[in-house]
């Protein structure tokens, strides 16, 4: 019997504060709102726009939302060309859609077993581990996995294997294997392809982000790492963009980090954490959810952009309204609701701005979070005098 193992369905265990949409509903919206006509997700779907599984969604909520906002005009033109209706969102729909797009990045693409086989040789795994009739017997066999084993399960086994394996590798005069890009995906794909389909599917984690938060503390990760700089750190901030990626890629980076981390933890009198059961999935779920929101919005930045991008010319100096809607209505709304109102109003905005010869406002993630923070605040918290802007011109 073969079949995929339950991997990470995070939805059931999201912390309440994360305020995420429902990715499952978002997936249905991706089809029903017509996104799929133009966009594919890793090859599945239309080819007019970029493949959202590969390009446009690598980032936090605001990174995805800003990409979506910025492409709005080009999208409208294409949709008119193909006689498609521009999607309008209501209720919680935009939040659900964005949650779906965000979680695309959680999952890996299938690796390439052929490339994985080459890696199994090149990384010298074969010297200690056997697959089929080939390989050494110093380490455990690697063809006993279930065909449906989740990549996270393999990653967890690999991590736990570190204290034994790394000294052994060094004794043999070999380099400790490191994984770049999709290498770890390919290697896991190879191991799964050689596995037993009849094996018990024993990994049932649903990636409990709340439990993961607790593990992040109890396993001592928090003593060195933080997410978006909320605490003092020794190791890298795990909210950093260059540390993002799918969970398996994250596992690869974590593994590469093993020797340095082991030394650092030794200096602090700690041992590298060992993960049991579903621990690693839970920790990754916590990290993934924590990164959803990104860095908090900057009110001052929002106010500056509001003026620079000439929002005030229609919406009034303090959002009190004028030629266009008063923005006070947005006060107290969630960021998803504010963005949904912005999105739905975009065609009217475009018409007015075109008539007034005002350029379409483009935002990066920090810009957008600032603008949304301003709208949510409703000009109630007057920002301090402005510093020199970090970015002034639209991209």
The residue ranges that bind another protein (CB under 8 A) are 1-9, 11-12, 24, 27, 30-31, 36, 41-45, 107-111, 147-151, 185, 188-189, 192-193, 197-198, 201, 204
d(CA 200, CA 190): 19
Cβ proximity to another protein: between 115 and 224 the closer is 115
Return the number of the residue (69 or 103) whose C-beta is nearest another protein: 103
Question: Minimum distance from CB of 202 to another protein (Å)?
Answer: 11
Backbone angles phi and psi of 327, in degrees to 5: -90, 0
CB of 53 to another protein, least distance (A): 8
Q: Which is nearer to another protein, 147 or 301 (CB)?
A: 147
Nearer to another protein, 58 or 192 (CB): 192
Closer CB to another protein, residue 199 or residue 233? Answer: 199
In the complex, what is the shortest distance from the CB of residue 35 to another protein, in angstroms, rounded to a whole number?
Answer: 9
User: Nearest distance from residue 192's CB to another protein, in Å?
Assistant: 6
CA 113 to chain centre: 25
Closer to another protein by Cβ: residue 108 or 208: 108
Q: State which H helix or E strand residue 354 sits in.
A: helix 335-355
304 alpha carbon, distance to own chain's centre: 28
Q: Under 8 Å CB-to-CB from 181, ≥6 apart: which residues?
A: 249
DSSP reduced 3-state for 134: strand
Q: Are the C-beta atoms of 154 and 125 separated by less than 8 Å?
A: no
CB distance 93 to 340 below 8 Å: yes
Residues forming a β-bridge with 134: 131
> Cβ of residue 266: shortest distance to another protein, in angstroms?
33
Residue 166, phi-psi category: left (phi > 0), alpha (psi -120 to 50), beta (remainder):
alpha
State the pairing for strand pair 134-135/44-45: unpaired
- Strand 44-45 and strand 40-41: the pairing is antiparallel
Q: How far is the CB of 143 from another protein (least distance, A)?
A: 13
Comparison of 151 and 177: residue with beta carbon closer to another protein: 151
How many other β-carbons are positioned within 10 Å of the β-carbon of residue 239? 20
Taking the complex as a whole, the smallest distance from the CB of residue 197 to another protein amounts, in Å, to 5
CB distance 205 to 8 below 8 Å: yes
Residue with smaller CB distance to another protein, 39 or 213 = 39
User: Could you give the count of Cα atoms lying within 13 Å of 51 in the half-sphere of its Cβ?
Assistant: 10
Q: How far is the CB of 12 from another protein (least distance, A)?
A: 6
Comparison of 39 and 225: residue with beta carbon closer to another protein: 39
Rounded Cα gap, residues 151 and 317, in angstroms: 52
CB of 181 to another protein, least distance (A): 15
CA-CA distance, 275 to 252, in Å (whole number)? 15
């Amino acid at each position: 019997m073969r079949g995929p193992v339950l991997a990470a369905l995070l939805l059931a265990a999201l912390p309440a504060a994360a305020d995420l949409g429902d990715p499952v509903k978002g997936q249905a919206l991706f089809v029903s709102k017509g996104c799929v006509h133009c966009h594919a997700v890793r090859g599945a779907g239309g080819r007019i726009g970029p493949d959202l599984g590969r390009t446009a969604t690598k980032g936090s909520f605001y990174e995805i939302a800003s990409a979506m906002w910025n492409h709005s005009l080009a999208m409208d033109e294409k949709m008119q060309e193909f006689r498609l209706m521009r999607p309008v969102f209501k209720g919680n729909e935009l939040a659900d859609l964005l949650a779906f797009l965000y979680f695309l990045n959680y999952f890996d693409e299938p690796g390439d077993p052929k490339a994985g086989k080459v890696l199994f040789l090149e990384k010298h795994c074969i010297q200690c581990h056997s697959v089929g009739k080939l390989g050494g017997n110093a380490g455990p066999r690697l063809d006993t996995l279930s065909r449906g084993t989740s990549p996270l399960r393999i990653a967890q086994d690999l991590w736990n294997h570190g204290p034994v394996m790394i000294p052994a590798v060094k004794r043999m005069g070999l380099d400790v294997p490191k994984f770049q890009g999709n290498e770890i995906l390919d290697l896991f794909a190879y191991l799964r392809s050689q596995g037993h389909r009849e094996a018990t599917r024993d990994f049932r984690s649903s990636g409990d982000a709340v439990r993961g938060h607790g593990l992040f503390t109890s396993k001592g990760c928090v003593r060195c790492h933080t997410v978006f700089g909320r605490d003092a750190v020794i190791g890298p901030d795990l909210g950093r963009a260059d540390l993002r990626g799918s969970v398996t890629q994250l596992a690869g980076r974590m593994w590469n980090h093993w020797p340095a981390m082991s030394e650092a933890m030794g200096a602090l009198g700690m041992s590298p954490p060992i993960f049991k059961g579903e621990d690693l999935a839970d920790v990754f779920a916590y990290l993934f959810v924590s990164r959803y929101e990104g860095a908090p919005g900057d009110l001052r930045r929002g106010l500056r952009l509001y003026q620079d991008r000439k929002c005030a010319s229609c919406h009034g100096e303090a959002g009190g309204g004028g030629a266009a809607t008063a923005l006070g209505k947005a006060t107290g709304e969630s960021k998803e609701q504010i963005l949904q109102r912005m999105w739905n109003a975009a065609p009217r905005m475009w018409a007015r701005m075109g008539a007034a010869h005002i350029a379409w406002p483009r935002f990066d993630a920090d810009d957008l979070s600032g603008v949304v923070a301003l709208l949510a605040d409703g000009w109630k918290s007057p920002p301090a005098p402005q510093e020199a802007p970090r970015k002034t011109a639209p991209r």
